[in-house]
Amino acid sequence: MDEKLIIAGPCTFGSYEELYKVAEEVKKRGIKYLRAGTFKMRTSPDSFQGLREEGMEMLLKIKKELGLKIVTELTSIEQVKKYGDKIDIIQIGARNMYNYELLKEVGKTKTPVILKRSFSATYKEWILAAKYIKNGWNNNIILCERGIRNYMSNETRNIMDIQAIPYIKHNTDYKIIVDPSHSSGNAYMVEPLAKAALVAGSDGLLIETHYNPSESKCDSIQTIDMDTLDRIINFSNNMRWFLCLKWQMN
């Protein structure tokens, strides 16, 4: 039974101390992949845009000091050229799923890529976007369902399309993970949605986590605390053992 790809960490960070503290908490739990945005694609130009280059240096320092693998969003061709082979997984955000020149540049690297589904993208558009990457060198692509637009956006930010999991598994060879944080926009929904995604066959999870969610520089309402992360990890591990056992008994 494949190990699930669990990626946790803050939406973004405002200082090295903050990033280090979250990274330590993530590492303590046996998680190998740290997420943290430094080139932030914010809806409003007036919102905090991340520490950018300075933040990238901090992420690379954390990688060296704590041995964690770094998952972070790159938003331009220049960033891909400069950092694409220094980080462990390149994240392409929902806003850039249609940025084909960027996708082609990512296709020139050999670094694994998480390609997030855009807000209202059809499965076909999402899979064709992945092909822009694949047509280069790079076939190490993980698709990420991060919630699609819905008609009650005052109540939940997006809505998790759980059907995307069996669809992608049935119709493509790509791995698929789920981001319950941006799907729901609410921390209290993240644990049940993460569990549902795992049961539906998700290959992993991308979760916004902080030692003190209220301190998070961005998306604090949807950010879970470490105790919640512990419960999700336990569920994932128990499910894996259960499925292994069941497989052996059959």
Residues near ligand PEP (CB under 6 A) are 11, 37, 41, 73, 93-95, 116, 146, 182
Tokens of 224: 């879970």
Q: Contact, 37 vs 71, CB < 8 A?
A: no
Least distance to ligand PEP from the beta carbon of 73, Å?
Answer: 6
User: Shortest gap between Cβ of 114 and ligand PEP (angstroms)?
Assistant: 9
What is the nearest approach in angstroms of ligand PEP to the Cβ of residue 241? 29
- The listed partner (ligand PEP, Mn ion, none) that binds 116, CB under 5 to 8 Å by sort, is ligand PEP
CB 109 within 8 A of CB 80: yes
To ligand PEP, the closest distance from the beta carbon of 141 in angstroms equals: 16
Q: Residue 238 CB, nearest distance to Mn ion (Å)? A: 28
Residue type, position 239, single letter: M
Can you tell me the distance from the alpha carbon of 6 to that of 19, in angstroms, rounded to the nearest whole number? 18
CB-wise, 37 or 213, nearer to ligand PEP?
A: 37
Applying CB under 5 A, does 189 fall inside the site for Mn ion? no
133, 107 contact by CB (below 8 A): yes
Choose between 73 and 105: whose C-beta lies nearer to ligand PEP.
73
> Minimum CB separation from Mn ion for residue 12, in Å?
7
CA distances from 4 to 47, 74, 87, 102, 199 (A): 33, 23, 20, 28, 12
Query: Stretches 8-16, 79-87, 107-115, 194-202: which one binds Mn ion (CB under 5 A)?
Result: 8-16
Of 219, 228, 232, 233, the one binding Mn ion (CB under 5 A) is 219
Residue whose Cβ sits closest to ligand PEP: 93
Among 5, 8, 11, 94, binds Mn ion (CB under 5 A): 11
The smaller minimum CB distance to ligand PEP, of residues 49 and 237, is found at 49
Residue 229 interaction partner, one of Mn ion, ligand PEP, none, beta carbon < 5-8 Å per kind: none
